[in-house]
Structure 1
Amino acid sequence: MRPFDYTRAGTLDEAGAQLGKTAAVIAGGTNILDLMKLQIMTPERLVDIGRVPGLDGIEADGDGLRVGALVRNSDLAADGRIRAGWPVLSRALLSGASGQIRNKATTGGNLLQRTRCPYFYDPAMACNKREPGAGCAAKEGVGRMLAIFGTSEHCLAAHPSDMAVALRALDAKVAVRAADGSERTLPLDEFYRLPADRPDIETVLGPDGIVTGVVLPAPVAGSVQAYRKVRDRASYAFALVSVAAVVTVEDGRIARARLAFGGVAPRPWANDAVTAMLEGEAPDDALFRAAADRLTADAAPHPDNEFKLPMLRRTLVSVLRETTGLAEPSIGTDRTDAAA
């Protein structure tokens, strides 16, 4: 690990004043410290925001909630309000990493964690995300864990977060503080950038920006929520594919469907055309298979991960059957309280 300076900020103003191109924020440190040990990231200064007041709470925000950037993953998953009104978020968090890591990892850090593409983690390999202009070794390499949507000729890496997939299905927003102290909230699709020709720039945060929290909209009363993660082993593994769903059925028809997909794109993935196919229709297997086919019609898989297409289709159909009542709910499926 290269030498670096360490500063503990007491306020957001102090933290913002010390950030820049050669500095990085640290909170839980579950990802950035690993990257520094491997010299994948080499900041000259770490700015610790772990003791900045006001970032470690879960508070009412109108009919929704605001989750501070320093809220630990374990605390967020266990919160009674989250489990009642936004259970898909709790399920997604509990499916990620280990209990020890969830006890340390933060909401903001989860959103900003870097890809687990093996070529990004290997300094001997070409990687445009690690070193712009170096090339992408993954294109001709082993591609089992790579993305199938939203890629470019410069990068095929997939985003690793489970939490962010659930947040996308919930239409949550990310609260971001700029260098001048102003704050704005952004939908996840606007917060994350697709790789295009600059895969090293993953978000719109900028070198001086700080994630201060996540804003959850009001819970959807009567919705059925599910998170299904398909992975190589039952725990401590990243998703091959995952599906987060928030679905409401009224009078025998799908009144509302919000779907997001993980393990398959550089950011939590959604497809408005799939949602449009489902809403207003009576749930049945033919409809679900057609929606699954529409989802994967735009995929551009690596030769090593073409298996993700049928896997994603089957997972989506299974989740839709559960959330619309065509199949018995399994672990990972929850109904919101109508009074939430």
Structure 2
Amino acid sequence: METFASGSFYVAPSLMAALDALDEGGSEAAPFAGGTWIMRAPIRHEPLKSRYVAIGKIPELHAIKVDADVVEVGAAVTHAALAASLADLAEFDVLTTAAGRSANPAIRTMATVGGNLATAAFAAADCVPALLCLDAQVEIASRAGRERTSLEQFLTMRSTLAPGRLLQRIIVPRRGRKTVHVRLPLRQAGDYPTAIVSLAVSLDDAGHVQTACVAVGSVEPVARRWHRLEAALAGRPLNAARAAEAAAALAGEFTGRDGADVPGWYRVRVLSGLVRRAVAALGS
């Protein structure tokens, strides 16, 4: 196979070639998909890697497979492609909204789902909380084989993955739930969201919540499930006011991240309003 030179850019023709190149490059190599985060590294005063492995030509990384029980999404699928492919599946409204309204149209045609999940420094990624509330799993490939883990676990280990490993696909179970994704941009649609709430619920015949999965993004450095709010919603009818009250009472468990655009306390304060909007949307 081709070898790297300093500052090189290798276009991998296959998954195995990409894994070989990443393994060869070690800590100096990184995968390059849409490039929407990497290309702006100089603006953030972050150093670039000396070696990049382009994975955009690998067919299986662009595949979306919809089965009766599961949806599988290749890591190089763009936000725009994902939103279009799942648009007719109401149970994935949370994900089509996350992918279809993130950033701006130009970015959505380039940014990949795998990049959204793997970029540890990007706290405002829309697809992360959306996939968290859907109980998604990820598959990580290396020359030694494949490893599957929950997205929740992947978020804790992504910044310390050994060289030569690549997020290959995302696996999302189908459970017929009602889902919604709400976000609060600073000023306009193209801004990064101040806070995100993704919600998935299953209801019994009486309209009571059987299961609830709530995920919060952009508030803290890493998106996470809101397990105590999930417990507060379970067993009750969907009620936006009551859900907002519970969220306000539990919001203290979050420590908002400060930024030049908005203080951390504000990110936490708006959570109850986003929960109200999410529950109201599901009940309409």
Q: TM-score range by the shorter chain?
A: 0.7 to 0.9
1:314 counterpart (266, 273, 278): 273
Uncovered stretches (5+) of structure 2, i.e. residues with no partner: 1-5
Q: Report the counterpart of residue 142 of structure 1 in structure 2.
A: none
Letter in 1 for 2:140: V
Aligned-partner SS, 1:203: helix
Q: Give the C-alpha shift of residue 316 in structure 1.
A: 0.9
Percent identical among aligned pairs is 26
Distance 1:232 1:52, change over 3 A: same
Matches within 5 A, 1:27-176: 27-35=33-41, 40-61=46-67, 63-80=69-86, 83-115=89-121, 159-176=123-140
Tell which has more relative contact order, 1 or 2 (C-alpha 8 A, sep 6+): 1
1:182-229 Cα deviation digits (max 9, x unpaired): 112221210012xxxxxxx753533221011111101x32x3221111
1:215-253 Cα deviation digits (max 9, x unpaired): 1101x32x3221111011221111111111112332131
Contact conserved, 1:93 with 1:163, CA < 8 A, in 2?
yes
Determine which structure has the larger strand proportion and give its number: 2
Matches within 5 A, 1:224-243: 224-243=178-197
1:191 counterpart (154, 157, 179): 154
Contact conserved, 1:31 with 1:114, CA < 8 A, in 2?
no
Distance 1:257 1:17, change over 3 A: same
Q: Report the counterpart of residue 305 of structure 1 in structure 2.
A: 264
Contact conserved, 1:6 with 1:45, CA < 8 A, in 2?
yes
Contact conserved, 1:191 with 1:205, CA < 8 A, in 2?
no
Q: Report the counterpart of residue 3 of structure 2 in structure 1.
A: none
RMSD between aligned residues: 2.3
Q: Give the C-alpha shift of residue 105 in structure 1.
A: 1.4
Aligned-partner SS, 1:29: coil
Uncovered stretches (5+) of structure 1, i.e. residues with no partner: 117-158, 194-200, 329-340
- Separation (CA, whole Å) in 1 of partners of 2:88 and 2:152: 22
Matches within 5 A, 1:249-288: 249-250=203-204, 251-284=206-239, 287-288=242-243
1:6-27 Cα deviation digits (max 9, x unpaired): 1111222221222210111101
- TM-score if structure 1 supplies the norm length? 0.73
Contact conserved, 1:191 with 1:204, CA < 8 A, in 2?
no
Q: Give the C-alpha shift of residue 312 in structure 1.
A: 0.7
Contact conserved, 2:208 with 2:235, CA < 8 A, in 1?
yes
- Separation (CA, whole Å) in 2 of partners of 1:299 and 1:267: 11
Letter in 1 for 2:233: L
- TM-score if structure 2 supplies the norm length? 0.86
Moved more, 29-38 or 268-277: 29-38
Determine which structure has the larger helix proportion and give its number: 2
